[in-house]
Chains A and B, each alone.
Chain A
Amino acid sequence: MSEHIAAISDIAAKYDNDPNRLLDILIDVQAQERCVTDDVTRQLAQQVGLSWADIHQTVSFYHFLSETPRGEYTIYLNNGPVAIMQGYEEVAAAFSEAAGCSIDSVTEDGRIGLFVTADIGMGDQEIAALINRVVFTCLTPEKARALVKDMQEGLSVQDMARKHREYGDGNNSLPAIHSMVRNNIQKAGPVCLGPYEVGVALRKCATQSPEDILSQIKASKLRGRGGAGFPTAMKWEFCAKAQGPERCVVANADEGEPGTFKDRVLLTERAELLFEGMAICAYAVGATTGSLYLRGEYTYLREYLEQVLEQMRADNLLGKDIAGKAGFDFDIRVQLGAGSYVCGEESALLESAEGKRGEPRNRPPFPAQSGYRAMPTVIDNVETLASAAQIIDKGADWFSNMGTEESTGTKVLSISGDCDRPGIYEVEFGITIGELLDMAGARDPQAVQVGGPSGHCLNADARDTMISFEGCSSAGAIIIIGKQHDLLAIIDNFMEFFTDESCGSCGPCRSGTWMLRNTLRRIRQGQGTREDLTSMRQLSEVMKKTTKCGLGHTAPHPILNTMDNFPHLYEALIPEQSDIRVFDLEASIKAANAAVGRTSASKETREKEEEQL
């Protein structure tokens, strides 16, 4: 027991007992102990100087942390939208049957834990799962059974992976990654996946003034790739002007939107470009601290990313006096997440990086004023920062000549679902949905989900719709949904996702999400009324107007979009005249009596009784 206490103590000490590093501590404890028990929470509270309740709040928030053991081998099978279209149910059943435990439980001997998790960023190689942080792709029921056998025989997860499938292409086969994940780059564009030489952009940067850098980013009209499309130069300027002894640059690699996996490929193949972009941003705003917030699902990339950082330090591209420029000091550390979609929201990400629950902050102050540990902070998407580095190397004109007037440059899209060529496409902004469908070889599409569940659900009329900030914007996901699928089942999956991922902080989002989900389910079961449609619209309005962050604003989209673009699906499910509320007293009494085990008094006897009274 005391050994055990010492082990926990060592983990906390590794992070200097710093409460700001609580998430790292908890992730390591979970990996070692397979859970974070209440006793450990009490011990850590003492050691890092927080309340028990405070630590419990954090532990209970993250999907990959748990208070009860999750098994020596923890399987997280993802039930994202593409997975459910491509056979998730069968694979889940196979795992469950072979392991002898149901989903959300651990085998009696404590060996195998079977859990589900939201999309893990492998939409182009489903069915995918994480087993002890190692990614397994292209699963089938047979493969699931084979994996369970391996676990029962005690194979290491690495050996299991090697047996299961060969290493993926590109850097995936490097020793520091050694993963079966494939890049599936179907179309490499000129910016993020184009020709690139490490260090050139950063060296160019170091010969200019921070103002010059800002003006080039401004001239390029670069806008944020993470969703909102905010002008990047404007954000950098805010931060540069904010008061503070130190500044910070954070790359957002949380990539939690189901159907998005483009940052995964950029991190695998263009890590240096991203880090250069961060350093360039740091130079422009005067930041010294950098952080890459890497979603827990991508832990398999961490060692490699650390190696790249080490190499860049050795090459004087990070650290002190970068590229020979005196006083250009900047370094980056990798911060892991632990399974939460809302942590991609910038202020929630900061909370999480400070070791707390990943809850969006009340704004103002905005991150550019007061962000990571109160430092003025720029938070940008991986793709935005990589693009910035290329702009500094190849010029603002080169960049702004691509794309459209308001959306310059390229967009890296992750296309998945019912198509012949799922994968990564770097295309110029302004490309139409129709062109994308043809490029990817869409098979009989019924709907296209652009930008993931929080984005837009388009129907067949949308072929001419442009991907751009002024048209239909996408942070990266394009999910093609074929005619063979029950679209509302997928919408149900999205609503379940939001219900689970809402941080729970604000009322209208916390209860609005499950309310919409439940109402949809009732309609799907043929028990909906026309009033339900109205009430879903009203509720959606309230959520958009009153919730604190983008999750609550966008969570109603799947419902609203399908009511608008696929009204027939709802019409078909709602019984005619459902708006007339019929109450059958006799039937209700019968049901109530049956429930409490009483024999029914008929209408006549009741009337007699009433007369006697």
Chain B
Amino acid sequence: MSETIETSSETITLTIDGQEIQAKTGQTILQAACENGIYIPTLCALHADKENGLKSDIAPGTCRICTVRVNGRTMAACTTPVAQDYIVENDTEELNDLRKTIVELLFVEGNHFCPSCEKSGSCDLQALAYRYQMLSPRFRYAFSSREVNAESPKLLFDRNRCILCRRCVLAITTEDGKQLFGFTKRGDKSGIIMDEELVKNISEEQAQQAMHICPVGAIIRKEKGFDTPFGQRKYDHNPIGSETVCTTCNGEKS
């Protein structure tokens, strides 16, 4: 499911929203855009960097918010490799409207009360809702009943806020590669489960990493709340996508 894309040296050219850019074969459209300072929204794909501790980029391809048009066809930018002369549309009214709908669906699927959420201000979902000017979702809430798990001494797992992106499933593992998180069931009953035995013994650092990679406030580290005050958080001054280099790679070029 995840794809580690090996980059080879061949350079090709493609255009995104009319801007001609260079990319390397083997890269995804998202990676190429990112390196060229073009913002494509993401919720599940994550660029590996020092802070998140990932060894390689992940692209679960689950959220679909990165949908772009490639030579006229809609595709996920995070899983579609670049090719010579691709014409990619990204920041268009049509696509931004799709993205807004996806954000709205995520809001009504879970239970989000931003004012009481530890992640508020540095939450990607919230930031995207602002970006796409979501007022009140046009869909009805599911009011789903979701379990909160606070068993682990280090982690609070609040499924109400989980958007099922699977970053945690792919990225949080023990040293010998055992998954701490898993995806359970299917359809409207889908959810994330934890291996409670493993999560019980999770280290301070790994708990921090899990909270960091979670795009929303579903994984919260215990004992250390609100260490960045409101008003000084990631998106408080710079709305998502406003940086010249996108947040996915935090300015680090691969």
Residues of A within 8 A of B (CB): 51-54, 56-57, 60-61, 340, 357, 359, 361-364, 499-508, 510-515, 518-519, 535, 538-539, 542, 545-548
Contact = CB atoms under 8 A, between A and B. Distances in A.
A51 B190 contact: no
Contacts of B105: 507-508, 511-512, 515
A518 B65 CA distance: 23
Contacts of B195: 51-53
B138 A499 contact: no
A514 B166 CA distance: 20
Contacts of A54: 179, 182
B96 interface: no
A542 B106 CA distance: 13
Contacts of A340: 186
Contacts of A546: 64, 67, 74, 76, 98, 102
A363 B75 CA distance: 10
B201 interface: no
Given A60-B184, A502-B187, A507-B63, 6 more contacts: A53-B180, A53-B193, A502-B186, A503-B186, A513-B187, A519-B140
B230 interface: no
9 closest A-B pairs (Cβ-Cβ)?
A53-B182, A504-B190, A362-B79, A51-B179, A53-B179, A546-B64, A51-B178, A362-B61, A514-B188
A506 B166 CA distance: 10
B101 A510 contact: no
A505 B59 CA distance: 13
Contact of B140 (A364, A500, A518): A518
Interface in B1-55: 1, 3
A499 B190 CA distance: 11
B245 interface: no
B152 to A, nearest CB: 15
The interface residues of chain A, by DSSP majority, are classed as helix
Contacts of A499: 187-188
B130 interface: no
Interface string B171-189: 0010001111111111111
The size class of the interface chain B forms with chain A is 35 or more
Contacts of B89: none
Nearest to A517: B188
A506 B61 contact: yes
B186 A501 contact: yes
Contact of A362 (B3, B180, B198): B3
Contact of B184 (A57, A361, A511, A538): A57
Contacts of B3: 362
A511 B106 contact: yes
B68 to A, nearest CB: 10
B190 A510 contact: yes
Interface of B: 1, 3, 59, 61-65, 67, 74, 76, 79-81, 98, 101-102, 105-106, 108-109, 138-140, 142, 163-164, 166, 169, 173, 177-190, 193-195, 197-198
A545 B98 CA distance: 8
B187 A547 contact: no
Given A362-B59, A548-B61, A514 B142 contact: yes
Contact of B182 (A56, A515, A547): A56
20 contacts: A53-B193, A56-B184, A57-B182, A57-B184, A60-B184, A60-B186, A362-B79, A364-B81, A500-B186, A507-B63, A507-B102, A507-B109, A508-B101, A508-B105, A510-B188, A511-B108, A518-B140, A535-B139, A542-B101, A546-B102
Given A53-B180, A56-B193, A364-B81, A506 B187 contact: no
Contact of B187 (A51, A57, A500, A518): A500
A530 to B, nearest CB: 13
A510 B64 CA distance: 12
A363 B59 CA distance: 12
Contacts of A511: 105-106, 108-109, 142, 188
A362 B1 contact: yes
B223 to A, nearest CB: 25
A51 B189 CA distance: 22
B210 to A, nearest CB: 14
A423 B212 CA distance: 57
A215 to B, nearest CB: 29
B79 A535 contact: no
A513 B62 contact: no
Contacts of B177: 51
B135 to A, nearest CB: 15
A609 B164 CA distance: 48
A542 B139 contact: no
Nearest to B186: A504
A365 B182 CA distance: 24
A213 to B, nearest CB: 31
Contacts of A359: 1
Contact of A506 (B64, B80, B180): B64
Contacts of A508: 64, 101-102, 105
Contacts of A507: 62-65, 102, 105-106, 109, 163-164
B246 to A, nearest CB: 20
B102 to A, nearest CB: 6
B212 to A, nearest CB: 20
Contacts of A518: 140
A359 B166 CA distance: 13
Contacts of A501: 186-187
Contacts of B64: 506-508, 546-548
A61 B198 CA distance: 22
A499 B181 CA distance: 24
A362 B28 CA distance: 12
Contact of B185 (A53, A60, A506): A60
A203 B130 CA distance: 67
A496 to B, nearest CB: 10
B200 to A, nearest CB: 13
Q: B76, B183, B193: which has the most chain A beta carbons within 10 Å?
A: B183
Contacts of B61: 362, 505-506, 548
Contacts of B163: 507
A519 B139 CA distance: 9
A361 B63 CA distance: 14
A493 B158 CA distance: 32
Contacts of B79: 362-363
Contacts of A510: 109, 164, 187-188, 190
Contacts of B74: 545-546
Nearest to B181: A53
A514 B186 CA distance: 12
Given A61-B185, A511-B109, A506 B62 contact: yes
A57 B195 CA distance: 11
Nearest to B99: A546
A60 B186 CA distance: 8
Contacts of A362: 1, 3, 59, 61, 76, 79
Contacts of A548: 61, 64, 76
Contact of B186 (A56, A61, A363, A538): A61
B181 A504 contact: no
Nearest to A503: B186
A550 to B, nearest CB: 14
Contact of B1 (A361, A502, A504, A542): A361
Contacts of B182: 51-54, 56-57
A61 B183 CA distance: 9
B114 to A, nearest CB: 19
A604 to B, nearest CB: 32
